[in-house]
Every structure is written in C-alpha cells, then in structure tokens.
Structure 1
Amino acid sequence: MVMWVFGYGSLIWKTGFPFDQKLPGCIKGYRRVFYQGSTDHRGTPEFPGRTVTLEAAEGEVCHLEVREKQYDRKEYVDFFTDPMDTTTPVVSGVMVYIASPDKKLNKNYLGPASIEEIAKQVVHAEGPSGPNKDYIFQLEKALLQFGWDDKHVTDLANEVRSLLSDGKQTAA
C-alpha cells in the first residue's frame, strides 16, 4: 500500500515515522496559518502554543495519527512539485491533516489574530516538545532550505525575534 502525507508544519523537519521517499512540493487552494492551539506539544492547557493548520484560500499555494490528534479533519488533495504549474499533479490523493475552525469539533482552534498577538502567545508557550518559538524558527528554516518564503511564517518569526530581543532573551 502506498500512502502520501503532505507535511506543512513540523512534519517537514521532524517526520517522526519511517518513510520511503520525501518529495518537496505544494498543494493549491490553501495557505499555512498559525491558528491551531497546541496543548500537548508546544504549549499546555494553561498556556497553549500555536501551530500551523491549513486554511482554504483561493489562488494560494502551500509548500510542503497520534501526533496530529488535535487536528480534526483529514482531506485528500493533489500534490505538485512546481508551484508555477498547478495543472497536472504529481500525486493525487495525498492525505493532509487540517484543524477546522468549528469549536464543537476542535476545542483547540484559536483562530485568527494579529502577528503581534500570536507572537506574544508563542514567546510564553512551552510544552513537552519544547518551546513554541522553536517550532516557528524550525519551520522558517526548513522552508527557506527548500527555497520557499512563506510571508506569514517569516513575519511571525521576525516578530518573535523582536519580542525576544526586547526581553533580552535568546532566539534560535
């Protein structure tokens, strides 16, 4: 059996399961956003961290079970290796986990907030997998290694760095 999983967050740099092949690429019609709360990995119920989920967004392109248990939806999407050519997928039916904004189904959905508000939350959140800021910095680094710039991720990482430098803390 062959199963492809699209990793758009920490799966990019910390897969956590054996795999046969890694293929950089993108999906269309979604964008990466820090709207999902993490109370089990990058935060606690008292101080939830923020992790990425996908949000449907026309014209957008997004690059790249226990672990994803706080995500309440699975979808199957087309996968492309060239963000400029999203007409012919390389693989169809790639599984992706998505956190829905329905608070009845997803109690950890935090939703939209300004970059400043998200950064303040990130700086103070830490869970069993480490500080929330490390998640942001690792995601930014992994995306840049592929040559992909995600404005939302970069803006958030820069705001977190700014808050850390203002507070005389160290950034990754």
Structure 2
Amino acid sequence: MSAKDPDPAPELLSGAAAPCPGYPPALGESRLLTEAELQASLDCALSGWDGASDLWLFGYGSLIWNPGLPTVENVRSRVHGYHRGLYLWSRVNRGTPEQPGLVLALDRGGSCAGVAFRLAAEGVMPHLEALWRREMAMGSYRPAWLPCVLAGGRRVSALAFVMRRDVATYTGKLNDATVRTVLGCASGRYGTTLDYVRRTVEALRESGMPDRALEQLLARCA
C-alpha cells in the first residue's frame, strides 16, 4: 500500500460485512402469544372441521423437510393465488431481535408448489397444538384453508400458513443486498437463515418441484 492509498475500512480488515442500509429493521417490541391465544387461534381455524375426517396440511417451507408430526400420506401439490418468498422477519427461530433472520411465507399472487400432508383425524389434536406453538408463536401467519391440487389431479382443502401483511415482521419485497446481509449473519434457536433456505431448496429439488426463483436468489446472495 502506498502512502497515498487510504487505510482499509475497519470492517474489511476484520472480515465483517459492510453495513446494509435498512438492516436491521426497526420492528419494535415482540410478544409471544399466550397458550390461551394459541388455543383460540387453533379452535378458530378448525371451526369448520367435523372432527372425524382426515385433515390436509400444505407445506411450502421447513414443513417439507421437517413436518414434525405423523402423516398418513404425503403428496406433491400446488396452491393458486399465493407464492412462496422470504417475507417474514424471524427474531427467534432463524435470527435474533438484534439481527433478525428470514423465513418463508405465502404471499398474494401466483402459485406455489409444495407437499400436502394428510393427517389422520384420530389423535391429531396434540400434534396440531404442537404445530401451532411452532408456527403461530408470534401470530405472524394467518391460518387459511386453501384449494390444493394434488399430483394426479385430486383436489382438497388444505390448511396453510399465509403471511399477514398487517404485522411489523412482514418484509415486503427485499433487495439482494439485504438478503445477502441476512444470509451472512442471521442465526437463531434452530440455526441460520442460510441453512434454512438451503435445506428448503434441496428438499424442493429432491421432491421434483424445484423453485427456480428461490434457487436463483440463493445463488446471488449466499
């Protein structure tokens, strides 16, 4: 380095990533739903269920490779009217309040390929309660019954977790610089955002329904 060259920035010397405008986001205080609130949400979602018929659950992210509950049947499927994307800030599972991570959510528009899981009605409630504690802990999703087309043409109504746009943790459309920063630093209770995205990409490809947009995002930003 010549005498005229500027000193390298401290973050480059240390190997740390350069600051990214807008990250971390200002999300405000977080609050976990109480057991009573979780139960009320589950009861509301199941209000139209007869209690005797098997249930269908649509998985589009980590549920594909880690459903965490017993299933009778797993079938490739597609829902229309929603698409998959990194639209939810994660302050516990894949990040922290100081460095939020990202997880996938269904947002309006397009369509989404995933796996439909058939759950036996008998004995399903404890498993659904555990699923609710996993997916609905902060109330960022809206449980919804979506028309789902199974491989082979069968049509079922499947329970899915749809992004709520009225919560502070909804990201909207993020630029690559922000995603790259998150993939490089965010880690939470269940591991890093990067591992979460990679495992989902691999699971979708292994299931014969690769998500080209997610793969390209990972290639650009990882």
Q: How many residues align?
A: 151
Gaps in structure 1 of 5+ consecutive residues? 162-172
Q: CA RMSD in A?
A: 1.7
Residues 30-39 or 90-99, more deviating: 90-99
The alignment partner of 2:72 has SS state of coil
Measured in 2, the distance between the counterparts of 1:119 and 1:18 equals 35
Identity of aligned residues (%): 27
Q: TM-score, normalised by structure 2?
A: 0.63
The alignment partner of 1:155 has SS state of helix
Measured in 2, the distance between the counterparts of 1:157 and 1:76 equals 30
Residue 142 of structure 1 and its aligned partner are, at CA, apart by 0.6
**Residues 29-84 of structure 1, C-alpha deviations (whole Å, 9 max, x = no match):** 21101011111211111111111111111xx22011111114331111111134xx
Question: Which runs of structure 2 are paired with 1:59-138 in the superposition (5 Å)?
Answer: 60-64=110-114, 65-69=132-136, 70=138, 71-82=140-151, 90-102=154-166, 106-138=167-199
Gaps in structure 2 of 5+ consecutive residues? 1-51, 115-131
Residue 156 of structure 1 and its aligned partner are, at CA, apart by 2.0
**Contact in 2 for aligned 1:32/1:54 (Cα 8 Å):** yes
Residue 115 of structure 1 and its aligned partner are, at CA, apart by 2.8
Residue 147 of structure 1 and its aligned partner are, at CA, apart by 1.9
The alignment partner of 1:154 has SS state of helix
**Residues 98-151 of structure 1, C-alpha deviations (whole Å, 9 max, x = no match):** 12111xxx2322221113321221221000100110001001001111222323
Which of the pair has more CA radius of gyration? 2
Q: Which runs of 4+ in 1 moved over 4 A?
A: none
**Residues 2-44 of structure 1, C-alpha deviations (whole Å, 9 max, x = no match):** 1111000100001112222211111112110101111121111
More helix by share: 2
